[in-house]
């Protein structure tokens, strides 16, 4: 092999040298320690000025070297990040990747796999598609359903809704009808903020429908909006596990409206749709099998590392029509019938982000996933019963899935904030304040199979 014409300092970034061997060993040894750690602390945020003092300048012309950079990360930067896979990380929606998924994430990067086209990554795409097919089957979608892994729920929802609008436009054109001046999406007033974000990007209108005390959007709630706005409604979005409460909309009653109104039914199950894998919650998701598209985030309740959202279309051709990009240099990809993931969402370049989930699922088996999700559901039920027995504590709503929202009598927002900060400072737990209809509260988001009843009881004891 002839020597590269690149400058020596450029070549050393890519060549295999003793320096490179040492660098790889350093990184792999740190990764090994972190993956196998059983006592990684919660850690917490650090002020920018303090980080600047501790870290100093790291991006300089001559470089600071791998050993120094890794030391700064391990000793300063990583501890300034809250550990999202900690069993007592109970805020927002946690992540709890399996050891297999985390380890294989290293393999994905090391393999230099491009996941955007069949031509360049057929093996990776094949494996990802097996997982997507399995999920589609779990959700009751037809064998022909398929899709792609994207970055997260926001991009998944956006891509599904873009496909929905394209399908509506096509129907108008084929029928010789004039498209509406303003396209509309109907969803619950408590739908995830990403729906409103997608609408802004698409320049369409959101019609938020109020829900009753149950928090569930129903067909009866939506009927009025469909009658009022007619064919301008191109999509109805159902939430299968809201972020704040874990509420599953009445998808079955929404699906029945499709017999009378022409709309695309999208199910935003970023957090909660994984609950459908457990017999303990499966009945709550009746009607999902009639959806035109669904999303679920494996980096939430399916134990994959960040970042991965599974977007699945009932008819994948609808996704391809909406998202395939056309350019002369892409002709070799777009003029074939091969399955290229870049054709099914608002992206082109993509990492094969579904592979860590595939490896973990293939390693441990589907039943292990069902059992882990069931354990979270049972733990949420058990701690809800414990809260019921405690004087001064009150459930805000009976949990449907694995989010438990509760109040402490007499506490203000400031009281919750002080308590939350103390828990983190003591490295006991990460539990943040929340609110509902103007009333402050707090919540346990229980997804990690390593979280125990005793840990949750210990947190309640601090109130």
- Same-domain status, 359 and 382: no
Rounded CA gap, 440 and 406, in Å?
9
Share of the chain above pLDDT 90, in %: 94
CA distances from 219 to 225, 231, 265 (A): 10, 17, 12
- 167, part of any domain: yes
- 90, part of any domain: no
Mean pLDDT for all residues in the chain:
96
- Same-domain status, 429 and 348: no
Burial of 436: CB neighbours in 10 Å, binned 0-12, 13-18, 19+: middle
- Same-domain status, 137 and 286: yes
Q: What is the pLDDT of residue 12?
A: 80
Is residue 360 over pLDDT 60?
yes
Residue 301: domain span: 106-364
Long-range pairs for 17-24: beta carbons < 8 A, 24 or more residues apart: 22/66, 22/67, 23/66
- Same-domain status, 126 and 211: yes
Structure tokens at 194: 């990403």
- Same-domain status, 353 and 282: yes
Give residue 326's pLDDT band: very low, low, confident or very high (50, 70, 90).
Answer: confident
Q: What is the pLDDT of residue 1?
A: 52
- Same-domain status, 181 and 223: yes
- 101, part of any domain: no
CA atoms within 13 A on the CB side of 226: 23
Mean predicted confidence (pLDDT) in 288-316: 98
Burial of 385: CB neighbours in 10 Å, binned 0-12, 13-18, 19+: exposed
Give residue 332's pLDDT band: very low, low, confident or very high (50, 70, 90).
Answer: confident
Share of the chain above pLDDT 70, in %: 99
Q: What is the pLDDT of residue 2?
A: 62
Give residue 70's pLDDT band: very low, low, confident or very high (50, 70, 90).
Answer: very high
- Same-domain status, 357 and 388: no
- 73, part of any domain: yes
Q: What does the pLDDT look like over 131-182, one tens digit per residue?
A: 999 999 999 999 999 999 999 999 999 999 999 999 999 999 999 999 999 9
Give residue 232's pLDDT band: very low, low, confident or very high (50, 70, 90).
Answer: very high
Is residue 4 over pLDDT 80?
no
Asked if residues 354 and 131 have their Cβ atoms less than 8 Å apart, the reply is: yes
Mean predicted confidence (pLDDT) in 262-284: 98
Structure tokens at 297: 């985030």
Query: What is the rounded (10 degree) CA torsion for 389, 395, 398, 404?
Result: -100
Least confident of 77-91, 331-345, 347-361: 331-345
Rounded CA gap, 37 and 33, in Å?
6
Q: What does the pLDDT look like over 182-194, one tens digit per residue?
A: 999 999 999 999 9
Mean predicted confidence (pLDDT) in 383-389: 98
- 91, part of any domain: no
Is residue 15 over pLDDT 90?
no
Q: What does the pLDDT look like over 89-100, one tens digit per residue?
A: 999 999 999 999
CATH number of the domain at 429, please.
3.90.1150.10
């Amino acid at each position: 092999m002839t020597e590269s014409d690149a400058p020596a300092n450029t070549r050393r970034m890519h060549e295999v040298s003793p320096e490179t061997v040492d660098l790889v060993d350093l990184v792999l040894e740190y990764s090994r320690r972190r993956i196998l750690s059983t006592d990684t602390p919660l850690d917490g945020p650090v002020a920018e000025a303090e980080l600047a003092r501790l870290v100093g300048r790291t991006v300089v012309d001559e470089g600071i070297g791998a050993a120094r950079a890794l030391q700064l990360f391990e000793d300063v930067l990583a501890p300034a990040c809250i550990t999202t896979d900690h069993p007592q990380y109970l805020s927002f929606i946690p992540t709890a990747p399996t050891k297999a998924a985390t380890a294989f994430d290293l393999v994905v990067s090391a393999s230099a796999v491009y996941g955007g086209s069949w031509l360049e990554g057929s093996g990776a795409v094949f494996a990802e598609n097996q997982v997507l097919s399995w999920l589609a089957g779990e959700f009751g979608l037809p064998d022909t359903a398929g899709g792609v892994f994207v970055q997260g729920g926001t991009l998944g929802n956006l891509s599904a809704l873009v496909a929905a609008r394209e399908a509506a436009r096509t129907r108008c054109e084929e029928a010789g009808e004039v498209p509406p001046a303003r396209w509309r999406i109907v969803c619950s007033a408590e739908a995830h903020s990403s729906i409103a974000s997608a609408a802004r990007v698409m320049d369409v209108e959101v019609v938020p429908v109020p829900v009753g005390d149950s928090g569930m959007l129903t067909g009866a709630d939506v009927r009025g909006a469909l009658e009022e706005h007619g064919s301008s409604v191109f999509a109805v979005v159902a939430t299968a596990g809201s972020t704040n409460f874990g509420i599953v909309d009445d998808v079955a009653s929404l699906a029945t409206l499709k017999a009378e109104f022409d709309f695309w039914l999208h199910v935003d199950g970023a957090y909660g749709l994984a609950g459908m894998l457990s017999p303990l919650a499966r009945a709550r998701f009746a009607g999902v099998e009639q959806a035109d598209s669904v999303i679920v985030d494996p980096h939430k309740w399916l134990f994959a590392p960040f970042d991965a959202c599974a977007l699945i279309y009932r008819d994948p051709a609808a996704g391809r029509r909406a998202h395939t990009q056309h350019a002369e240099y892409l002709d070799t990809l777009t003029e074939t019938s091969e399955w290229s993931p870049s054709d099914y969402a608002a992206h082109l370049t993509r990492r094969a982000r579904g592979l860590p989930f595939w490896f973990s699922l293939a390693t441990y088996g589907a039943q292990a996933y069902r059992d882990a999700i069931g354990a979270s559901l049972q733990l949420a039920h058990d701690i809800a019963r414990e809260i019921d027995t405690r004087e001064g504590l009150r459930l805000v709503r009976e949990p449907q899935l694995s989010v438990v929202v509760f109040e402490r009598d007499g506490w203000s927002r400031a009281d919750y904030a002080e308590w939350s900060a103390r828990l983190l400072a003591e490295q006991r737990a990460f539990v943040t304040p929340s609110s509902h209809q103007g009333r402050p509260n707090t919540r346990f988001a229980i997804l990690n199979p390593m979280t125990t009843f005793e840990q949750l009881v210990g947190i309640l004891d601090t109130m």
